[in-house]
Amino acid sequence: MMGGLQRIAGMMRVMAVAVLSIFTSFAQTPSVPSNFKADAAFARYIRSMAMLSTEPAKERYVVADRVLKQLVMQLPAAPKNIAWDIRIGNCAGNMLSSPDGAIFVDEEIAHMLGNDRGLWAAALAHEIVHVVRRDWARRYLFEQSLRDAAAGQIVLDAGGGGSSWMDSRASGRTLKAFAQELELQADAEGIGLMARAGFHPAFMPALFEMMRGHSLHLDSALWDSAHPEWEERQEKLRPHFASAWKEFERLWPLAVESPGGNPPVIASAGTPSLQYVQNGAVRVVVPLHCENLYGALEVVLRLKMRDQSSSEARQYTGCTSKRTLVEFLISPSDSSGDDALISVLDERGDFLTGAVASTSGR
CA 103 to chain centre: 14
The pLDDT score that the predictor gives to residue 14 is: 45
The span from the CA of 166 to the CA of 102, in Å, is: 37
In angstroms, the CA 318 to CA 244 distance is 28
Model pLDDT, residue 19: 31
Domain 266-357 has CATH 2.60.40.10: yes
The predicted model gives 200-215 an average pLDDT of 90
DSSP code at position 339 = P
Q: Which of 90-94, 115-119, 147-151 has the lowest mean pLDDT?
A: 147-151
The pLDDT value recorded for residue 92 is: 56
Nearest residue to 19 via CA among 187, 134, 200, 144: 144
**Residues ≥6 apart with Cβ < 8 Å to 99:** 39, 40, 42, 43, 131, 134, 136, 137
Model pLDDT, residue 42: 84
Query: What single-letter DSSP state applies at residue 116?
Result: -
Mean pLDDT along residues 160-168: 45
CB atoms within 10 A of CB 13: 16
Planar angle of CA 216, 346, 67, nearest 5 degrees:
85
**Range scoring the smallest mean pLDDT among 20-34, 166-180, 313-327, 329-343:** 20-34
Phi and psi torsions of 296, nearest 5°: -135, 160
In angstroms, the CA 285 to CA 275 distance is 8
* Residues contacting residue 36 through CB under 8 Å, at least 6 positions apart: 137, 141
Confidence band, pLDDT 50/70/90 cuts, at residue 292: very high
**β partners of residue 317:** 297
First to last CA, the chain: 45
| Residue 44's pLDDT band (cuts 50, 70, 90) | confident
Comparing CA positions, the residue from 51, 211, 212, 47 lying closest to residue 119 is 211
Q: Cβ distance 350 to 266 under 8 Å?
A: no
Instruction: Tell me the mean pLDDT in the region 322-345.
Output: 82
Q: Kindly tell me if the per-residue pLDDT of 15 is higher than 90.
A: no
pTM of whole model > 0.85? no
Judged by average pLDDT, the poorest of 59-63, 159-163, 308-312 is 159-163
DSSP codes, 119-147: HHHHHHHHHHHHHHTTHHHHHHHHHHHHH
Per-residue pLDDT, 30: 61
Q: How far is CA 47 from CA 84, 104, 125, 189, 305, in A?
A: 12, 10, 20, 26, 44
pLDDT at 118: 97
Would you place residue 68 in the very low, low, confident or very high pLDDT band (cuts 50, 70, 90)?
A: very high
Whether 88 and 70 have beta carbons less than 8 Å apart is answered as no
Q: Using one digit for the tens of pLDDT, what is the confidence trace for 234-280?
A: 778 888 989 999 999 999 999 999 999 999 999 999 999 988 887 77
User: Which pLDDT score, from 0 to 100, does residue 164 have?
Assistant: 43
**Helix (H, G, I), strand (E, B), or coil: what is residue 254?**
coil
Q: At residue 353, does pLDDT exceed 90?
A: yes
Residue type, 75: L
Hey, where are the domains in the chain? 2-257, 266-357
CA dihedral 36, 52, 70, 349 (to 10 degrees): -130
Average pLDDT over residues 330-359: 83
C-alpha to C-alpha distance for 167 and 228, rounded to whole angstroms: 22
- Backbone conformation region of residue 330, classed left if phi is above 0, alpha if psi is from -120 to 50, else beta: beta
Mean pLDDT is lowest, of 61-65, 170-174, 227-231, 275-279, for 170-174
pLDDT at residue 84 tops 90: yes
Give strand pairing partners of 310: 304
pLDDT at 63 over 80: yes
Q: What is the pLDDT of residue 23?
A: 27
HSE-up of residue 30 (Cα within 13 Å, Cβ side): 15
Q: Taking residues 24-40, what's their average pLDDT?
A: 66
